[in-house]
Structure 1
Amino acid sequence: MFLPVSLRDAPDKSEWSAFDRLPVAVLRLEDDGEIAQSNRLARELLHLETTDGNTLQGVLEGLGRPISDWLADAALGKYLNKSEFLRLKSAEVEVFLQVSLGRISTPGGEHVLVAVLHDATELKSLEAQFVQSQKMQAIGQLAGGVAHDFNNLLTAISGHCDLLLLRHDQEDNDYSDLVQISQNANRAAALVGQLLAFSRKQTLRPEVLDLRDTLADLTHLLNRLVSEKVTLTLSHDPILMPVRADKRQLEQVLMNLVVNARDAMPDGGEIRIETRGQTLEKELRRDRATVPPGDYVSVRVSDQGCGIPKDKLQKVFEPFYTTKRTGEGTGLGLSTAYGIIKQSGGFIFIDSVVGEGAVFTILLPSHRAMQPKTIEPVAETVQKPGIERDEGVVLLVEDEAPVRAFASQALKLRGYTVIEAGTGEEAIELLNDDGLHVDLFVSDVIMPGMDGPTWVRQAREARPDTRVIFVSGYAEDALDDSAEPVKNSVFLPKPFSLNDLLETVQGQMS
């Protein structure tokens, strides 16, 4: 560490005033960490008017190693001129300092500790952004993979349950048990959907929405979610541009935020939901995110609850992190909201002061479409499927045997002729028989060896008019975007019910 000659010679305290003009922040420390002297830049970095009575460990905190241990080693001449990154305790926002400790000798043979400080906030912010991105990506990949496997299991469970329901009337003793299995399979599917939402690999059904209408439709349900002690207030911008999003998923985000706001106010209070248009003339940098310029619609959900400490604000969107007591929260609500909003092209931010409540702000890009395209979500209610007879030949390609067995049996009950294959290669081999007539391909997307789109494109060379249904436990973007889209194809996400499968097949056959 470079220091001026006068400092290396350890001048007395009266001469330290000259260092106020140095372009570097300098502290003189006692062995126990007490700040004996400081210059102007050091006080500015520490956000202090005076350092009298303060210690280094009192104003800064270590990110790993205790500061007291570091000071003790430095006093013994160990690990000198090695930098440590420390966090400022008193700042309202995160401030990081890079601190180097040196030891100088006085004419009397004593040793003095000197600390040189540099502002490392931007560096640590970039580092944290990178680490957070890597962590979220890794967890997202794990969640997506787990969700894919669970979707295959749930498709088989709910599908075979639907087949059993066909053989039982409501008066049967087993009927209520089958309904319970079906309902719990749907609940499990919703939980898997949360994992996919966080990993941003769920299948969205976007449509053009006016958020005022969406909230109006949702108000009755939201009022049921809050207690009698809580007042729910809605406020809308009179001129609000539409957005393009999945209505059901956006409603889930709003319900999660309202439930969190309710839980933060056990003694009651007000939850406000406000919508307004917002135009950004230049990019907005906030919370390690960059919002590009443009027109947005913002939704603010605010409460008067207990608030969230500032050191926990950056963690609330992480999966399985919760500020609630054990058993009161899964830690998936806000991470699900984060995933849905990000996958919709938007941003979500949080502001909070302990004791004053929290405010969640959602920014969604505005959409200037004239004709909204609406895709009805798949019904989640349990109903006894009705089977009508139909005709046609279906080539079913699915590597998961339980899923293939359910789909095959369901299609045969409908009257279709079903040819089964466990791989894409097996499907191509079957289609080499020119005498084999096939009306429809139903194929999983991700399979060992040749994937769904690959074998379908190859088969289409000889059978260009055959229609296709792709099924997958991943989102629709699991299809290869780099290749030309498969024409006359539709996508059916897992888990799907018997009715979902039959309706989709009938739609492609017609």
Structure 2
Amino acid sequence: MLVAEIDAGANRRVLYLLPPPDEIISPSELGWETFQDLPVPLIKLGPDGTVLAFNRMAAKLLGVSLRREAHLSQLMEGLGRSISDWLDDSLAGRLVQKSEFLRLTRTDREIFVQVSLNRISEPGEAALIAVLQDATELKSLEAQFVQSQKMQAIGQLAGGVAHDFNNLLTAISGHCDLLLLRHDQGDPDFSDLVQINQNANRAAALVGQLLAFSRKQTLRPETLDMRDTLADLTHLLNRLVGEKVTLTLSHDPVLAPIRADKRQLEQVLMNLVVNARDAMPAGGEIRIVTEVTTLDHPLERDRVSVPAGRFVTVQVNDDGTGIPRDKLQKIFEPFFTTKRTGEGTGLGLSTAYGIVKQTGGFIFVDSEVGRGTSFTLYFPVLEGQPTTVSRAVVSSPDKGPPPRADGVILLVEDEAPVRAFASRALRLRGYTVLEAESAEAALKTLEDKDLDIDVFVTDVVMPGMDGPSWVRQALKQRPDVRVVFVSGYAEDNFGEEQSKIPNSVFLPKPFSLTDLTNTVHNQLH
């Protein structure tokens, strides 16, 4: 039996003779009976990391793998160094960080724990008490925050790089346009110049994809019916999927209109269909389903909240190889691809993500390895009359250049190559061009009261004062001057600013010689 001796006072001692427990427990382990019902998971470890005892909460958290004589390294992982070293440092009092985050080796579900080690002394040798705390939700929130920060940082980087590249491409393609004006098709240099021009346009399309991911590309939204959009695209999609893959479309009998950029939306659908085709090398079926969905309550999914309301949904389903779970959260990142080198840039899904988000929609993916993948796009239904969109009236190149004209243009652009091209292009069309490399220089030029200016052509983002700011200041003295804003970013980035400036239009970079001269001509007439 168990004997308990207690001081009863007045030099008396009381002996309690207790019945033995079900299991024979050594005196050193007896104290753990007291901790069985504590609401904190506790594990007693030997100096070598062997489990000596544990309470009920620890058994519930760690599962069946927690047993006496098991080693701590069999129960959890992810420390970044050997668990034996961590235990040695704890026993020696060398721990700088009091707790560590580890992942349990349970196979039924993923659990993270925060573990604090405390040294205790017992007769014979020292031991350790591990205090555990379930940190699964904390780690999940941390992963979501890190992913959000990463996507935001990549977006800012992509947008900044794309802005600078648009300036370079404007200068390259612009000066190429100037050279093409001086060479006819019989000239031996003509084909080389055409090649430069075509490749500059391809580079511009690639930069457009980066801007799409960072949601800074210029959209031209219009009222669309998804049924008509897919009908126009079906012939091209059938050519894309090839002979081994079947493409089937299923539409809701009554589809509501949405508001989106048709060209960009077609690019999203083509990217999704091409990925579905590549996931089925032996052939199969791609199913595109459109329908109107009404959400009575907000839809919480993938760290996103879709508000209640009516949506047009587009599903692109395949029976392909599927996407592993560890790659699902990365598929919308730029340059992330599972294809071999040369088979893909990794920009397709990131472009789709950016376009859908900038349109005001949502994109989700469901996938099972070996079973297939389903992408679902949500676009808010356009209720009532569509709003008008402020956009530059840019003539397409096939309409040819406008006739020669007279007028005085104040050109403000901090990038010297872009300024050189734009000024030469406008002078070739008969305009008088005054150049300024900054907003401050432009305002200095306008101090001459006798100077008549017809159009301001100005960059938006410049060192010092930006485009809209100096234009607003200049229009106080010259209210009748018309304005052309040019930028490598999207119109949306300063749409509110531009809407407050009368007689102003927006021209996105990179622009061609014809784009520029036609826009100025339309502003003057």
Q: Specify whether residues 59 and 327 from structure 1 end up closer, same or farther in structure 2 by C-alpha distance, changes over 3 A only.
A: farther
Q: Provide Cα deviations, 1:216-266, integer angstroms capped at 9, x if missing partner.
A: 222222222223222222222223322222222222222222222222222
Matches for 1:326-365 after TM superposition, within 5 Å: 326-365=341-380
Match of 1:165 in 2: 180
Moved more, 57-66 or 493-502: 57-66
Q: Specify whether residues 81 and 446 from structure 1 end up closer, same or farther in structure 2 by C-alpha distance, changes over 3 A only.
A: closer
User: SS of the counterpart of 1:270?
Assistant: strand
Do the aligned partners of 2:29 and 2:53 also contact (CA within 8 Å) in 1?
Answer: no
The answer as to 2:228 corresponding to 1:228 is: no
* Identical columns (%): 66
Match of 1:130 in 2: 145
Q: Specify whether residues 137 and 498 from structure 1 end up closer, same or farther in structure 2 by C-alpha distance, changes over 3 A only.
A: same
Match of 2:291 in 1: 276
- Residue identity opposite 1:462 in structure 2: Q
Please report how far the alpha carbon of residue 459 of structure 1 lies from its aligned counterpart in structure 2 after TM superposition.
Answer: 1.2
1:202 to 211, 217, 238: 217
Q: Specify whether residues 465 and 349 from structure 1 end up closer, same or farther in structure 2 by C-alpha distance, changes over 3 A only.
A: same
Q: Distance in 2 between matches of 1:223 and 1:72?
A: 65
Q: Provide Cα deviations, 1:449-487, integer angstroms capped at 9, x if missing partner.
A: 222112211111111121111001111234384797211
Gaps of 5+ in 2: 1-20
User: SS of the counterpart of 2:329?
Assistant: helix
Matches for 1:9-408 after TM superposition, within 5 Å: 11=29, 19=36, 21-27=37-43, 41-42=57-58, 45-46=61-62, 48=63, 51=66, 57=73, 60-62=76-78, 64-65=80-81, 67=83, 69-71=85-87, 73-74=89-90, 79=95, 82-88=98-104, 95-102=111-118, 109=124, 114-371=129-386, 385-408=400-423
Q: Specify whether residues 493 and 27 from structure 1 end up closer, same or farther in structure 2 by C-alpha distance, changes over 3 A only.
A: same
| Equivalenced residues, count | 501
Do the aligned partners of 1:81 and 1:102 also contact (CA within 8 Å) in 2?
Answer: no
2:463 to 448, 453, 474: 448
User: SS of the counterpart of 1:318?
Assistant: coil
Q: Distance in 1 between matches of 2:165 and 2:510?
A: 9
2:519 to 490, 504, 507: 504
Please report how far the alpha carbon of residue 348 of structure 1 lies from its aligned counterpart in structure 2 after TM superposition.
Answer: 2.0
Larger Rg over CA atoms: 2
- After superposition, the CA RMSD in angstroms is 3.5
Q: Distance in 1 between matches of 2:461 and 2:97?
A: 54
Do the aligned partners of 1:300 and 1:362 also contact (CA within 8 Å) in 2?
Answer: yes
Match of 1:433 in 2: 448
Please report how far the alpha carbon of residue 204 of structure 1 lies from its aligned counterpart in structure 2 after TM superposition.
Answer: 1.5
Q: Specify whether residues 218 and 98 from structure 1 end up closer, same or farther in structure 2 by C-alpha distance, changes over 3 A only.
A: farther
TM-score by length of 1: 0.86
Please report how far the alpha carbon of residue 400 of structure 1 lies from its aligned counterpart in structure 2 after TM superposition.
Answer: 1.6
The answer as to 2:475 corresponding to 1:460 is: yes
Q: Specify whether residues 393 and 399 from structure 1 end up closer, same or farther in structure 2 by C-alpha distance, changes over 3 A only.
A: same
Please report how far the alpha carbon of residue 136 of structure 1 lies from its aligned counterpart in structure 2 after TM superposition.
Answer: 2.3
1:479 to 466, 469, 494: 494
Q: Provide Cα deviations, 1:272-308, integer angstroms capped at 9, x if missing partner.
A: 2222223333333322323333322222222222222
Q: Provide Cα deviations, 1:394-434, integer angstroms capped at 9, x if missing partner.
A: 22211222212222222222222222222222222222222
Q: Distance in 2 between matches of 1:445 and 1:254?
A: 32
Q: Distance in 1 between matches of 2:227 and 2:107?
A: 39
Q: Provide Cα deviations, 1:49-97, integer angstroms capped at 9, x if missing partner.
A: 6656986555644164455654565577764993222335666876433
Do the aligned partners of 2:180 and 2:193 also contact (CA within 8 Å) in 1?
Answer: yes
Q: Specify whether residues 303 and 490 from structure 1 end up closer, same or farther in structure 2 by C-alpha distance, changes over 3 A only.
A: same
User: SS of the counterpart of 2:411?
Assistant: strand
Moved more, 438-447 or 312-321: 312-321
The answer as to 2:432 corresponding to 1:417 is: yes
